[in-house]
Amino acid sequence: MNIFQKNIEALGRFDPILSKRVKNIKLSEDIKFTNSGIFVSNPKRKEIFFGRQDINRGVKKITDYGNLKSSEVIVIYGFGLGGHILDIINSTPQSVFILVIESDIKLFRAALELIEIEPIVSCGKVSISVGEDGVSAVINRMEEHFGVFTSRDVKVIKYPPSIEINPSYYSEIDNRIKELLDLARINRATLEKFASVWQGHIFSNLKPMLTRPGINGLFGKFKDKPAVIVSAGPSLDKNVKWLSMAEGKVIIISVDTAVRTLLNNNIKPDFVLSLDPLIENYYHLEGLENQLKDSCLVANPVTYPELIKKYKGDVLIMTYGDPLIQWFERFIDEKGETTVGGSVATSAFDFAYRLGGNPIILIGQDLSFYGGRAYTEGSYYNQRWIEEVNGSETLSIKHGTTILSETGTEVDDFFSGLVTTSEKMLSWKRWFEIMISKGKVKCINATEGGVNIEGAIEMPLSEAVNMWCKEDICADDIIKSYTGKTKMADIHRLFNNMVKLSREIKGLQKLSSEGVEISDGLFKLLGGKGSRGQGVKGLSSLEPSNPLPLEPFQLNQYLEKMSILATQMLDSRDFFDINRWGIDLLLDSVNLEMRHPTEKPQSLLDTLKSYQTFFNGINEICSVFSHRLDKGIEEIKSVSKSQSVKVSQVKTLTL
């Protein structure tokens, strides 16, 4: 077995798809091998050298890149012959994520003739993108690794010979990384607002997670059957009537906001999607339980709990990259994930795709404030505004207020000129266009108003119905056949591990409380009141330029003890993984020393404030999570009794 074959075998264990792609590539005539490396001819016929050691090539040594130890994400432009990648791997902690982006698969193929790829692919922290478009290389791979990307810190390292070969490609990667950082900013703001709410709802919806089936059992069951995504844009009012002609011949998937408009037109959706945590999303379906008893609810565990509890029809559970859900799914059957695109409609599109729907027809997907309105007339929002209308405030003003609350921008409307939209809705438009561009499914935009979606075929709904909705589908039979056979998850392993985690968290609370006491005690000795006081008197005396009221050896004892406590706490992997979104927000507010305790602090003041914030923050997160976890344990006991399972038969752990 030669070195190339060994590399293909090693690559196959890491990324079978990439291994297969590279294996079928022939060596390029534009690449010449030498003892010291390879020469590659670029489009201008200029030869560019890729050396084994990159001697005298102007390639930066790792020490020139700055402090990579504090980086969370590193993106390397260009694979080359891998030497610079190994340097970075060996100079960074295991927690860092390294994304290597190579534009030229033939160059990557040639590199596998000269170097051993095993040390790169086996390190456990590297993802390699070869010849992918910018979105796939950057956005998709980051979301695949992180679930929800929130990092502020993306370090980009550019390998000069690779940039010289294909500068336009890496310029596009620059743009995608800018988009990624914008996405991270939006995600951080969303998490700051909702992360704790989501976690609370997941625990409240634990029983449905255990007793209701997941969406994955229906994946592929509607292969090449037409599906329609019904969204709540204002244009839905003018063409929804045509959908009644297609009932039974198309899979009707409605977002919760649009359901009332469908029912007002005597149209029954096959699936209703509700994925948001706010009570307003419960109001979309409140009072419709009897009318929807023959429609299947698709709900995320973060959905407002009362909605799932009161729903009379079948319920399927849809998940996404929430760390608590992922932890639960380690011990029960997976429910099935969809891609998070930012709205219920984007999740509905991915759900339809996973069902096998083709084509996927969009209606009510205005992605704009079409006709000066925000929603379809039948929506809960519109009905509430009608009730609130008085002599000084019209319904138009209510819609206008909502429109003004968004960041307004004008774009072309396929049917009627310019329409007002928002940056948020334009991000959803971009998501649809990315999904459609992959070419795996035909998309028909039958919205008849609003923003044009590139790649989708524009046509009136009446025409789409006549063209694609001709055969009976019997969606009810397929859904009932699946939901009628599913069984409750085996909860024994989950119960035991929740009890184990509860014990771990109580130990973590003791450590964090000890850290709070030490940091508060230190401040008090220095003349302050500690973190629970009204302020810290004389805090400026902690600056290195001022005399310290404590002997240096005493201060060092405090700092060493706090460092040991922080290190011990960071070893609680399950807790930190489950709560990583909240903890990431906490760590954003403290000194980088908390992320990397072995590094020297920049200032004593920053160090003390960081420890104090860290210990108090972890203590608070522990307290909230421990309360929710204990309630979840009691919920499992209740489920066990209702399913005639004796909890005494479950081998529990002593708290």
3-state class of 334 per DSSP?
Answer: coil
Structure tokens that stand for 239 in this block: 């063409």
CA 328 from centroid of its chain's CA atoms: 17
Mean pLDDT of the residues in the chain: 83
Largest Cα–Cα separation, the chain? 86
Cβ(34)–Cβ(43) below 8 Å: no
- CB within 8 Å of 360: residues ≥ 6 apart: 226, 227, 228, 229, 349, 352, 353, 441, 442, 443, 444
Least confident of 252-266, 268-282, 635-649: 635-649
Percent with pLDDT over 90 in the chain: 49
Q: How far apart are CA 645 and CA 637, in angstroms?
A: 9
pLDDT 10s digits, 9-37:
999 999 999 999 999 898 888 888 888 88
pLDDT 10s digits, 401-445:
665 555 555 444 445 556 788 878 888 888 898 888 877 889 999
Cβ(322)–Cβ(188) below 8 Å: no
pLDDT level of residue 143 (50, 70, 90 thresholds):
confident
pLDDT level of residue 79 (50, 70, 90 thresholds):
very high
Q: Report in angstroms the alpha-carbon separations of 179 from 142, 176, 182, 345, 538.
A: 12, 5, 5, 21, 44
What is residue 405's predicted lDDT score, i.e. its pLDDT? 56
**Quick one: which of 287, 310, 240 has its CA closest to 268?**
240
- In the Cβ-directed half-sphere of 107, how many Cα atoms lie within 13 Å? 27
What is residue 318's predicted lDDT score, i.e. its pLDDT? 95
Q: In what order do the strands lie in the sheet with 47-51?
A: 31-34, 37-41, 47-51
Residue for token pair 């005597």: 266
Give the pLDDT mean for 152-159. 89
User: Which among 26-30, 44-48, 358-362 has the top mean pLDDT?
Assistant: 358-362
Q: Please, which residues bridge with residue 124 across strands?
A: none
* Helix runs in 526-603, H state only: 552-570, 573-578, 580-588
What is residue 59's predicted lDDT score, i.e. its pLDDT? 44
Q: Which amino acid would we find at residue 417?
A: G
pLDDT 10s digits, 195-250:
899 999 999 999 999 999 999 999 999 999 999 999 999 999 999 999 999 999 99
Q: How far apart are CA 561 and CA 542, in angstroms?
A: 18
Q: Could you tell me the pTM of the whole model?
A: 0.78
Q: Report in angstroms the alpha-carbon separations of 630 from 277, 492, 495, 534.
A: 22, 16, 11, 33
What is residue 440's predicted lDDT score, i.e. its pLDDT? 80
Cβ(532)–Cβ(605) below 8 Å: no
Whether the per-residue pLDDT at 599 is higher than 80: the answer is no
Whether the per-residue pLDDT at 630 is higher than 90: the answer is yes
pLDDT 10s digits, 284-318:
999 999 999 999 999 999 999 999 999 999 999 99
What is residue 458's predicted lDDT score, i.e. its pLDDT? 94
pLDDT level of residue 43 (50, 70, 90 thresholds):
low
